[in-house]
Amino acid sequence: MNAPKDLYGLVGYPVKHSYSAAMHNAAFAHYGMNAEYHLFEVPPEKLEEFFRLRIPELKIRGLNVTIPHKEKACDYLTGSVNFFVHRNKAVNTVRVESDGNLSGYNTDGPGFTRDLTEQGVVMAGRKVALLGAGGGARSVATALANKGVAALSVYDVDMVRAKVLASIVKEFFPQISVTCASSLEALGVGDADILVNATPVGMKPGDPLLVSRDLLSPKLFVYDLIYNPAVTPLLEAARAVGCKTSNGLGMLLHQGCLAFEYWTGKPAPVDVMREALLNAVAQA
Ligand code: NAP
């Protein structure tokens, strides 16, 4: 009789358009592992039940966590919790330990900085303007701080959230100049080296361009965490003025590679996972 497969997956709501299964299943196949990655579409009111009952019942070994559960899922972690997960209150990777405890990591920020490094973008000493202060932005901000950026300015429609992000960065990286902008105009895009969009603005058709075109100049590197669509209004405008740009597909790849390593202890087959991801995107 065939042994049951080790189960991994993504929990979110909705999840049906996710590319993560293609990338992780390709990695399992690469190592000849008897494992499978599933998509678990779980509404917020069922999240606790999923974590407390379904994970042991289904013998799930590892999970990625996505919108809208990254914050709430922190409440159900019972094992060791990575320092920045705890402080940022955003988990995107859960490992089920042999005793059943759930350890939490966040690979979004390190995935983001790995992608920038791969693209040859220098972060140390640079000024960064950040749009958004949600879970993704908090992970990105602490990862950028860890890479030695000189200054960070952040704008979010929710000023309280921007202040929380700023206080976390200041607490651990006091040498970095951190500013909470009260408006988009005050974000200092014209003075920045790197502009990051960590809001969902740009995902839906007809979404506006958040930053005035006049503030974009070719010296700016513009990164949008959004990868679907591949070109957001921000990236389109930035390309038009000659900026180097990137969407968030590389971040998705590298956060997935790091999650794979936490779960399996094996080095992620990055090129295999990249190819599977690109194929999934091409077929979407
Ligand atoms: P989130 O927790 O909802 O945070 C988004 C933040 O942006 C919220 O605070 C939101 O405020 C704010 N916001 C919305 N509209 C804004 C505007 N016009 N100006 C300024 N701030 C605005 O979401 P998230 O999890 O951080 O994700 C953000 C984006 O990153 C999503 O598109 C997500 O798909 C993407 N992402 C990509 C990757 C990747 O691997 N590439 C990883 C993580 C996230 P309100 O809540 O008040 O609207």
Q: Give pLDDT tens digits for 131-140.
A: 999 999 999 9
Pocket lining: 49 vs ligand 1, CB cutoff 6 Å: no
Pocket lining: 135 vs ligand 1, CB cutoff 6 Å: yes
Pocket lining: 238 vs ligand 1, CB cutoff 6 Å: no
Pocket lining: 199 vs ligand 1, CB cutoff 6 Å: yes
For residue range 161-175, list pLDDT tens digits in order.
999 999 999 999 999
Percent of the chain with pLDDT over 90: 95
Residue 49 has a CB neighbour count (10 Å cut-off) of 10
Pocket lining: 210 vs ligand 1, CB cutoff 6 Å: yes
Atom of ligand 1 nearest to the CA of 252: 40
Where residue 1 falls among pLDDT bands split at 50, 70, 90? low
Question: Which H, E and C letters describe the chain, residue by residue?
Answer: CCCCCEEEEEEECCCCCCCHHHHHHHHHHHCCCCEEEEEEECCHHHHHHHHHHHHHHHCEEEEEECCCCCCHHHHHCCCCECHHHHHHCCCCEEEECCCCCEEEECCHHHHHHHHHHHCCCCCCCCEEEEECCCHHHHHHHHHHHHCCCCEEEEECCCHHHHHHHHHHHHHHCCCCEEEECCCCHHHCHHHCCEEEECCCCCCCCCCCCCCCHHHCCCCCEEEECCCCCCCCHHHHHHHHCCCEEECCHHHHHHHHHHHHHHHHCCCCCHHHHHHHHHHHHHHC
Substitution site in 157, 212, 255 for ligand 1 pocket (most atoms within 8 Å of beta carbon): 157
The amino acid sitting at 86 is H
Atom of ligand 1 nearest to the CA of 201: 15
pLDDT value at 9 more than 60: yes
> In terms of pTM, does the model score above 0.95?
yes
Pocket lining: 137 vs ligand 1, CB cutoff 6 Å: yes
The CA 26 to ligand 1 mean position distance, Å, reads 28
pLDDT value at 284 more than 90: no
What is the pLDDT at residue 84?
84
Token pair for 129: 């303007």
The CA 199 to ligand 1 mean position distance, Å, reads 3
- Cβ-contact 249, 227 below 8 angstroms: yes
102-105 and 93-96 strand pairing: antiparallel
pLDDT value at 83 more than 90: no
Pocket lining: 251 vs ligand 1, CB cutoff 6 Å: yes
pLDDT value at 11 more than 60: yes
What is the pLDDT at residue 97?
98
Q: What value does the mean pLDDT take over residues 172-199?
A: 97
Concerning whether 70 is annotated as a catalytic residue, the answer is: yes
Atom of ligand 1 nearest to the CA of 158: 47
What is the pLDDT at residue 267?
98
Torsion angle of the four alpha carbons 261, 247, 91, 208, in this order, in degrees rounded to the nearest 10: -170
Atom of ligand 1 nearest to the CA of 70: 25
Token pair for 121: 């973008």
Token pair for 243: 């900026």
Q: What value does the mean pLDDT take over residues 90-111?
A: 97
**Arithmetic mean of pLDDT over the chain:** 96
Q: What value does the mean pLDDT take over residues 37-57?
A: 98
pLDDT value at 215 more than 70: yes
The CA 226 to ligand 1 mean position distance, Å, reads 9
Q: What value does the mean pLDDT take over residues 45-57?
A: 97
